[in-house]
Structure 1
């Protein structure tokens, strides 16, 4: 199934061209558009101050970041995690701009913009003229926002993973019910943050009925 990586950054400000730096990177592996549980997360020393207005957004001060790794120390680990797969982010041009500035500073090639999947563009196409911030989309799709008191990159990734599934067509996307031999497998759907996981144990007869039903559908998502 298709692998992609959903990610987010937090920074000291809005513009890498004026010296703003990345202070946090979080990334989640998706397979079939659902999180696998593999993640990359790091706090970084920006080698500069963290303005008070930025701290109010993400909650980090320079005291929280002193002694953390430098971006250059973690660049290869991050690049290995993301591989060559599509990169999903909300307002992705912002995150790509910062990461490419950091990669250039560390002596690495930039990320290919052709890998970018921007959930903000997706939301604007689906809900034109409506608020499409991450908070607004979470409320629209009924995603629990109670833990989001600041813009923490790892939490934002988990929330965006739920939103992304909804933007791609709902939670049935990526759910496969396939039999191997004569035994019906147990299919575990690991629900995103704030929701209960469900174990589905179809019988062989149920799988056969399911397969027969799917054959009648035009371009079913189960076969994508």
Structure 2
């Protein structure tokens, strides 16, 4: 999407990431309000809202920015596109994703009459949780870029939404799988929060998972894609 101005792409990434985090946090607050004594039902409500919203957000913003909403997706897109996109553009994507994630958490806090910033006290620091993040992120990268390389980009919104919704349940970490979302969730002391001290290890696990997922993609689809950063829409025209 080189014909789309960079500032528009960055705005789309900011809004998309912010709205995603707002949905994750807001649906978590609503779930604990509606089902205060049933943690399983809370997770159903939180995961369903996130899965549906993620699919919609990708559909809305993909024509503008590629709808990455995730620094590891941007990094893998840059690497698999033979780095034809300027590194500064990729860095700008990551920066606005992180800022958008924080803004989304603040927005959700305000919508539910919470303090604008309330550092999470939910510690998520254990080896099995980090392993869960490795698995969740590797799977996300595999889903996106296997579909990209197979020329089936139209399936990405539904596939990514379905995968994240399922990964809430089959990973011990409930599948953050996104450094920007992880950082944003540190700003809310609600159901979806993560203590700031737990963030670095989660992000490191996500980076490891992204590398693992990329390795699997390259084994399955060895031909590289020569496209600029917004892969999810451009590649539908020229998948190989």
| Structure with higher RCO (Cα < 8 A, 6+ apart) | 2
> Computing the radius of gyration over CA atoms, which structure comes out larger, 1 or 2?
1
Q: Report TM bin, short chain.
A: under 0.3
Q: Of Structure 1 and Structure 2, which has the larger fraction of its residues in strand?
A: 1
Q: Of Structure 1 and Structure 2, which has the larger fraction of its residues in helix?
A: 2
